[in-house]
Structure 1
Amino acid sequence: CATTQQQPKIVSIVGFGGMGKTTLANQVYQEIKGQFECWAFLSVSRSPNIMTILRTILSEVSGQDYSNTEAGSEQILISKINDSLLDKRYFVVVDDICDVDTWVIIKCAFPATSSTSRIITTTRINSVAHSCCSSFNGRIYNIRALDMVHSRQLFHRRLFKSDEDCPSYLQEISEEILEKCNGLPLAIIAISGLLANIEKVENLWNQVNDSIGRALERNPNVEGMMKILSLSYFDLPLYLKTCLLYLSIYLEDSTIKKKDLIRRWIAEGFIHREGKYSAYEFGERCFNELLNRGLIQPREIDVYDNVNSCRVHDTILDFIISKSVEENFVTILVVPTLTIRNQSKVVRRLCLQRVEEGNSAVLIADLVLSKVRSLTMGRGMLEIPSLEEFRHLRVLVLTECFGLQNHHLVNIVRLFQLRYLRIQSPRISKLPEQIGRLGCLEILILRDTRVRELPASIVNLKKLIHILVDVEVVFPDGIAKMQALEMLKDVKVSIQPFDFLCGLGQLNNLRNLQLDLRLEVDSETEDTDVVGEERKKAMVSSLCKLGTQNLRSLTIYGGSNLFHEESLCLPTLKYLYIRFSDFPQVPTWMGSLRNLQRLRFVVAALKQDDLCTLGALPSLLFLHL
């Protein structure tokens, strides 16, 4: 047994929900993780799946993706994590631990003989905090509510440009509202998000103040927050209420990807094209409004300060789920805890999560499935129900379903109203040949499958807007028929038929394109130069056609030789990323990109003329050189 001096140091942050434990832990994590050799941040949640947690730790500390593997037992995973961390200085945050038993298993993954390593845990429960600290060389940090000075700073920062900008006629009412928030950051953020959408008039703010009551003072953890969240919810326009309720399908502490969430909103029919905005652009506005109101929290932020993913605070998720149940919006079955979030038998949207093998058929046996519009199955060994029972499906999501096989997909071709199809399963190797019958399909996502060729009939999908596939997938001839396409990712050019390279330029509505131009050289083939020259000309011609139509974003892996030698015409392009490839110098054609806002590429040498070329781009906002 390691002595106290040999053990990692641990701090356990304890306090009730909404106090900012996760925010504090994440702030420290982001600031100092670079000082360590290995680091990981993981959320445990109130219904922990130990295998998922251990796979997450192993993925983060090893740098390999184990999220979709069936990697042995708990003991095997713990052993692999120990091996990865042994003799290394590591920093780990374990967020939101809700019981001692879970911690007893998780702690075994961390070598106890690394005195220079650090662990932070967060919990709402004192006994859990004491257990964490007794395991290693630890201390408990009791997080406190904000004092009035800091409460005021948080409140004003979200509502006004600075403290001085708070009008004098609103100062007294602001103080009253803050007193009722009782120093709870989540409450302050939620109420300021509500007030930000209300005119800065004293009588309207008084109405909000009166509506809050003094519930937070009586019970700072539940009742008061629910009151504030109810006010925020009923202040939302109808389309935003629907978008918010949809978040109830995600597991607690999930990282919710913005792009995928917006695509699902579109497929469900919650949002549409609005004036000058496309449906997706309007979806981004909805996402940002929920962020600004404090109803969702940013998780991943890119170098441009764009929020690429979000999470939902546990307390807010509880509220969303309660509203979802009230309105029979989503029926969620969570196993092995056998939680049923909705008692209505007539189901609109069905979500099966973490189901053990053989349980799913029993769980849905008493449900009326004829009106189901959305089916989400994920994280478990599922007994896949026959898709014949779901004739009116608009959205079908099958992710991390280890029991999913090709024969389960046969009846997909009968789902004539299907708009959104996402398949993420290592046992799927082909799609049904007649998938072209799905005339309403708008979004197709294939990730982490063994599919290597798309069926020939897929080009008949006239409404398909977005295709995201694994990079090894080959497209059939006839891509030019898919005129509705706006997004196409991730395509390996070297394995595509010549027809694809020519037809690509005819996709007049394509806005976002991601290509892999890295070549697999075969030195034994004598005529590769001739074939390569023809394919090169076809590729350049297609890109130039797209660049004068609607192409806005182009991401390319490799291909610097191609684009250095050729002259590209891409006047509509706003975003250009070229990765895994070095240019000998800045290509002259880049000087014609008059609408380009973001440019990222690698250049071997930079001359004065190159700087002049880049400096003359009139719209450029971000340059990564």
Structure 2
Amino acid sequence: MSQKAHGVFIQRFMKFEKIEKELRDAREVFPRVKNWEKIVTEEFDSIEQDLEDLLDDCQDLTKFKAKFPSILVKVEKITTVNKDIQLHSINSDNPALPKTGQSMSNAENASTDWQRLRIEESILESPFMANLQVSYDILKPQLKLCLLCFSIFPENSEIKKRPVIYWWIGEGLVTLTRDKTAEEVGEGIFQELTEKGMIKPVYKNKSPMVTSYLMHPWIRLMVVSVARKAGFFDFDDAGKPMTVCPKSHRACLVLPTERIQGAPHEQVITLFNVNQEYLHISNLGWFSKQKKLVVLQLGRWQNSDSHHIEVDDAEFLKGLEEHTQLKYLSLCGISRITELPDSIAKLTNLKILDLRACHNLEELPSTIKAMKKLTHLDVSECYLLEHMPKGLGSLSNLEVLKGFVIGNSTSKDPCQLKELAELKKLRKLNIIVGNDAVVAEDDLKQLRQFETLRVLTIRWGGVVHSTPKESARLRRAATMTMESLSMPQNLEKLDLQCFPHNVSPNWLRSSNLKNLKRLYIKGGKLGSLQYVSGEAWNVKILRLKFLKYMEMNWSVMQEAFPHMVYLEKIKCDNLKSLPCDNNGVWENDKR
């Protein structure tokens, strides 16, 4: 045999060995697959029987709703068992995989195994899923449409409430009523979906305040199936939302797409960034054609600040003026945006502008005062902003203003705090007293006139400066806020950050904040809370974080806060007498 022929023989022999090994592996997998099928089938049969009994016994819709959550509990248990089976099958039978430290890899591989077995299709075609969809079918039309928005979020992702509500407002799925703002209506939708068992609130550190939600994987499967059939979004074969949308009027930015591709029609109303971290928006022609676009969520929706987004060229912002129908624009968490073009003012229908955590943003355009329909403006965590443009007081529909920076002596005609007193609908205000802020006494006294204000946050020293001269200015500004500040009478939540003095000012007393229900104090020098016997607080939720000098014993705190149901204490060295658990939480068992 020649050397060449011998080489060919060796290659074919090795290929034969590889095929033989794959056949052996497949033969070993078959019993495991059969076992999985047996378990899943038995569990489906059990739940199907439960649901049939439930449907037979519960002619009354109220009784049906009351008993249905117990079925979901059983579903949760089955899902847990199935995950254990998946991970066990991978770790125990595949020696090529490490036994530890590979939980994420194992989960992804397990998911792949299930997809190969077409298990998801079996679930969707099962009588159980048909019965589960009953819970969707009985929803009101508004709840159905709002629920379908959850279809684009990845499985088991923690979904932040705020951007979803903004999305709903942008599309007009929720609108204001006679006695509620659109945002409050959106809050009610989340509450209803929770009560129906469609989503599950995430309670962090036992806090009664919920900002994020989860959706059970099987409910998500049902929602994706309905959204696909209804053309609410377009999905690929794996159930992931698509950028190109042949049927739907909504499109997504999803990995591994590197560039935004053109849509086949010009009727897209929503473009939502699901998981793109690097935005290459070079095809401006695609955007200019989308005359119907009302929701543009380019920024992050995730709850964590670790989800950072970069844009290759901020020039695309100039093309936004073409989208005159836009109602919600989010650039949240996008870097390399230093300014917004003056042409942003052409978005006269815009209601919500979310610029939170645009860390490179240095200035807002003066033309922003022309955006008369604006209800929400968020520039919090934009640490390079040194002042706000004059004219914000003319935005008569503004309800939420976050990140308002009190200007310095070099600012050219900045917006002053007293100008905001003209905003008769303002409910939430976040103020930053920068290191070089120039604070006028009249400004601080005007806060008392903010009759509609319910939530107020004040942060001292938020702008990035650190020279000795600027530190001295901050001390002067801090002194002014301690002496001249007056609190709005209807305030329900007060959040104080980096408090600059150790003595509690007169305005921080229960007699000046009779309607206050939530008090948060984070960081700074505050040494005590003023308490005069007989002047108890009505506060129910108290959060104290990073207060090195704070002193108060438990008996005094109980007397000062008799209505308190939740207390959180994090890194407050001198509050050791407070009976908090290992997580720094105390709850009133009698609530």
SS of the residue corresponding to residue 520 of structure 2 reads strand
SS of the residue corresponding to residue 331 of structure 1 reads coil
2:168 corresponds to 1:250: no
Q: Distance in 2 between matches of 1:266 and 1:508?
A: 21
Q: Are 2:328 and 2:352, in contact at CA under 8 Å, matched by a contact in 1?
A: yes
1:258–1:139 Cα change, 3 Å: closer
Aligned residue number for residue 379 of structure 1: 276
2:351 corresponds to 1:442: yes
Aligned residue number for residue 427 of structure 2: 511
Aligned pair partner of 1:409 in 291, 303, 317: 317
Q: Distance in 1 between matches of 2:96 and 2:513?
A: 58
Q: How many residues align?
A: 413
Q: Distance in 2 between matches of 1:579 and 1:540?
A: 17
Q: Distance in 1 between matches of 2:153 and 2:442?
A: 43
Q: Are 1:487 and 1:513, in contact at CA under 8 Å, matched by a contact in 2?
A: yes
Structure-to-structure mapping, 1:99-498, within 5 angstroms: 124-130=86-92, 135-136=98-99, 223-301=126-204, 304-332=207-235, 345-358=246-259, 360-361=260-261, 364=262, 367-368=264-265, 370-377=266-273, 378-384=275-281, 385-386=283-284, 387-399=287-299, 402-423=310-331, 424-449=333-358, 450-469=360-379, 470-472=381-383, 473=385, 474-495=387-408, 498=414
Shift of 1:459: 0.9
Report Cα offsets for 1:204-246 as digits up to 9, x if no partner.
xxxxxxxxxxxxxxx8897254223311100111100000001
Q: Relative contact order: is structure 1 or structure 2 higher (C-alpha 8 Å, sep ≥ 6)? A: 1
Q: Distance in 1 between matches of 2:236 and 2:419?
A: 45
Aligned pair partner of 2:446 in 542, 561, 565: 542
Gaps of 5+ in 2: 1-35, 44-78, 104-121, 300-307, 462-477, 545-591
Shift of 1:319: 1.3
Structure-to-structure mapping, 1:468-617, within 5 angstroms: 468-469=378-379, 470-472=381-383, 473=385, 474-495=387-408, 498-520=414-436, 532=438, 535-546=439-450, 549-558=451-460, 561-581=479-499, 583-589=501-507, 590=509, 591-601=511-521, 604-606=526-528, 610-612=531-533, 615-617=535-537
Aligned residue number for residue 568 of structure 2: none
Alignment RMSD: 3.7
Shift of 1:428: 2.2
Q: Distance in 2 between matches of 1:415 and 1:332?
A: 26
Structure showing greater radius of gyration is 2
Shift of 1:298: 2.1
Aligned residue number for residue 201 of structure 1: none
Q: Are 1:584 and 1:605, in contact at CA under 8 Å, matched by a contact in 2?
A: yes
Report Cα offsets for 1:13-60 as digits up to 9, x if no partner.
x9979x9xxxxxxxxxxxxxxxxxxxxxxxxxxxxxxxxxxxxxxxxx
Shift of 1:257: 0.8
Shift of 1:436: 1.0
1:229–1:503 Cα change, 3 Å: same
Shift of 1:504: 2.3
Shift of 1:310: 1.0
Aligned residue number for residue 29 of structure 1: none
1:288–1:301 Cα change, 3 Å: farther
Letter in 1 for 2:351: E
SS of the residue corresponding to residue 531 of structure 2 reads helix
Report Cα offsets for 1:164-187 as digits up to 9, x if no partner.
xxxxxxxxxxxxxxxxxxxxxxxx
Shift of 1:604: 4.4
SS of the residue corresponding to residue 271 of structure 1 reads coil
Report Cα offsets for 1:79-116 as digits up to 9, x if no partner.
xxxxxxxxxxxxxxxx99x9xxxxxxxxxxxxxxxxxx
Aligned residue number for residue 110 of structure 1: none
Report Cα offsets for 1:272-308 as digits up to 9, x if no partner.
1234222111111110111122211223536641221
1:612–1:263 Cα change, 3 Å: farther
1:434–1:376 Cα change, 3 Å: same
Q: Are 1:123 and 1:129, in contact at CA under 8 Å, matched by a contact in 2?
A: no
SS of the residue corresponding to residue 492 of structure 1 reads strand
> TM-score scaled by structure 2?
0.62
Shift of 1:410: 1.6
Shift of 1:254: 2.5
Shift of 1:561: 3.6
Q: Distance in 2 between matches of 1:331 and 1:595?
A: 48
Letter in 2 for 1:388: S
Q: Distance in 1 between matches of 2:197 and 2:241?
A: 27
Q: Are 1:355 and 1:380, in contact at CA under 8 Å, matched by a contact in 2?
A: no
1:303–1:571 Cα change, 3 Å: farther
Q: Are 1:420 and 1:444, in contact at CA under 8 Å, matched by a contact in 2?
A: yes
Letter in 1 for 2:155: E
1:319–1:491 Cα change, 3 Å: same
Aligned residue number for residue 46 of structure 2: none
Q: Distance in 2 between matches of 1:380 and 1:587?
A: 45
Q: Distance in 2 between matches of 1:572 and 1:468?
A: 22
Structure number having the greater strand percentage: 1
Letter in 2 for 1:444: L
Report Cα offsets for 1:456-506 as digits up to 9, x if no partner.
111111110111113333421111111111111123324565433332222
Gaps of 5+ in 1: 1-13, 20-94, 99-120, 141-218, 521-530
Instruction: Give the fraction of aligned pairs with identical amino acids, expressed as a percent.
Output: 27
Q: Are 1:353 and 1:380, in contact at CA under 8 Å, matched by a contact in 2?
A: no
Letter in 2 for 1:552: R
Report Cα offsets for 1:305-334 as digits up to 9, x if no partner.
122101222222221111111111123579
Shift of 1:354: 1.3
Letter in 2 for 1:486: E
SS of the residue corresponding to residue 211 of structure 2 reads strand
Shift of 1:595: 1.4
Shift of 1:544: 2.1
Shift of 1:577: 1.4
